[in-house]
Amino acid sequence: MHSVRKRGTECIPFYESMRTHWLILRTSIAERLTYRADFAFATLIRFLPIVTQIFLWSAIYAVNTPAAIDTLNGYTYANMVAYYLMAMVGRAFSSMPGLAGGIAREVRDGTVKRYLTQPVDMLAYFFCARMAHKLVYYLVATGPFVLVFYLCRGYFAGWPDALSLAACMASLVMAFLIGFLLESAIGLLSFWFLEVSSLIFIFMMLNYFLSGHMVPLDWLPRPLFVVAQHLPMAYLAYVPATVALGRYSTNELTVHLLVEFGWVLALWGANRWLFARGLRRYSAFGG
């Protein structure tokens, strides 16, 4: 038997590293396409909550009734549906179901040692696998998203301008990175805790609220909103949706994009630190 304590220190040429990651990405895409019918069905099922939420907000605003509400916290019914649809797009980019649990399982079962004895970085591997998952998801979900947005086109004031559209795309890309880094950081805590499922549950509950997926964050009391809108969770749904709907001024847009980029760098550094510190604690035995 032997002990694995830390990653090897040999230097890997950059082109070999890129080739390895490209192979991981291709293999992960092929793996998900193997069960494409099951994957497509699971993806389409996720669109059912959109219908229920539209009906829910219709009931809250009492649409087409004598008690109809014109605005609620600054949002008309059309504004609310438009916001929810854009928040769903943000969540489609940023949600990482199973990522933290997968990392924790690798550490708990000892299979993490394969990343320590081979020239493959664990976080890079999971990143490539998650990219593959998202690419296949977008391939399947693009059609339903186009159909939903076409049917709900009346809730939108019009197309966003070029600046808002470019800023929205940049925000969605960074939302994907923040979502991955938040989940992977929780998974890396398994180097210290045997079971992280409770932490994952707590994170999911806080994330559902603080990301703006449940209600827009500007519905919160002003002091809470000022803090919540700059937390990393806000950039998973609320900020991309608000950017796409053109509710930010140019200065506000610049500040939020810079803060979002700052969170990407900070969370990347936190992940590398947790991984390096975790390896000092980790030991595995076996062939």
pLDDT digits (tens, 9 = 90+) for 12-44: 555 566 777 777 777 877 777 777 677 677 767
For residue 287, being part of any structural domain is answered with no
Best-predicted range by mean pLDDT (10-19, 79-88, 258-267): 258-267
More reliable by pLDDT, 277 or 42: 277
- Dihedral of alpha carbons 33, 101, 175, 243, sign: positive
Give CA–CA dist 257/171, Å, rounded: 7
Across the strands, what pairs with 75?
A: 72
- Look at residue 47 in the predicted model and tell me its pLDDT: 74
- Whether 11 has a pLDDT exceeding 60, the answer reads no
- Look at residue 284 in the predicted model and tell me its pLDDT: 57
Residue 118 falls in which region: left (phi positive, over 0), alpha (psi -120 to 50) or beta: beta
Q: Which domain holds residue 150?
A: 11-279
Query: Does an H or E element contain 18, and which?
Result: helix 14-34
Share of the chain above pLDDT 70, in %: 91
For residue 4, being part of any structural domain is answered with no
For residue 177, being part of any structural domain is answered with yes
- Whether 253 has a pLDDT exceeding 80, the answer reads yes
For residue 33, being part of any structural domain is answered with yes
Please state the rounded mean pLDDT for residues 236-240. 95
45, amino acid identity: I
Please state the rounded mean pLDDT for residues 239-256. 92
Domain count, the chain: 1
The band of 243, judged by pLDDT with boundaries at 50, 70 and 90, is very high
Degrees to nearest 5, angle at CA 131 with 145 and 120? 175
Give CA–CA dist 119/26, Å, rounded: 18
Give CA–CA dist 254/261, Å, rounded: 11
Burial 150-165 (b: 16+ CB within 10 A, else e): eebeebbeeebeeebe
- Look at residue 4 in the predicted model and tell me its pLDDT: 42
| Average model confidence (pLDDT) across the chain | 85
For residue 6, being part of any structural domain is answered with no
- Comparing CA positions, the residue from 252, 260, 273 lying closest to residue 231 is 260
pLDDT per residue over 87-146, tens digit each?
999 988 999 988 999 999 888 888 888 877 777 888 988 998 888 888 888 887 788 888
For residue 262, being part of any structural domain is answered with yes
Q: Helix, strand or coil for residue 3?
A: strand
- Whether 208 has a pLDDT exceeding 80, the answer reads yes
Give CA–CA dist 113/116, Å, rounded: 5
Going by C-beta distance under 8 Å and a sequence separation of 6 or more, which residues neighbour residue 178? 94, 232, 235, 236, 260, 263, 264, 267
- Look at residue 178 in the predicted model and tell me its pLDDT: 97
Query: Does an H or E element contain 84, and which?
Result: helix 77-94
Sequence-ordered strand ranges (E) for the chain: 3-4, 284-285
Please state the rounded mean pLDDT for residues 205-221. 91
- Look at residue 180 in the predicted model and tell me its pLDDT: 96
The band of 8, judged by pLDDT with boundaries at 50, 70 and 90, is very low
Please state the rounded mean pLDDT for residues 66-72. 84
- Look at residue 13 in the predicted model and tell me its pLDDT: 56
Please state the rounded mean pLDDT for residues 184-204. 90
For residue 286, being part of any structural domain is answered with no
For residue 285, being part of any structural domain is answered with no
Give CA–CA dist 53/165, Å, rounded: 25
Give CA–CA dist 238/234, Å, rounded: 5
- Look at residue 16 in the predicted model and tell me its pLDDT: 62
- Look at residue 170 in the predicted model and tell me its pLDDT: 95
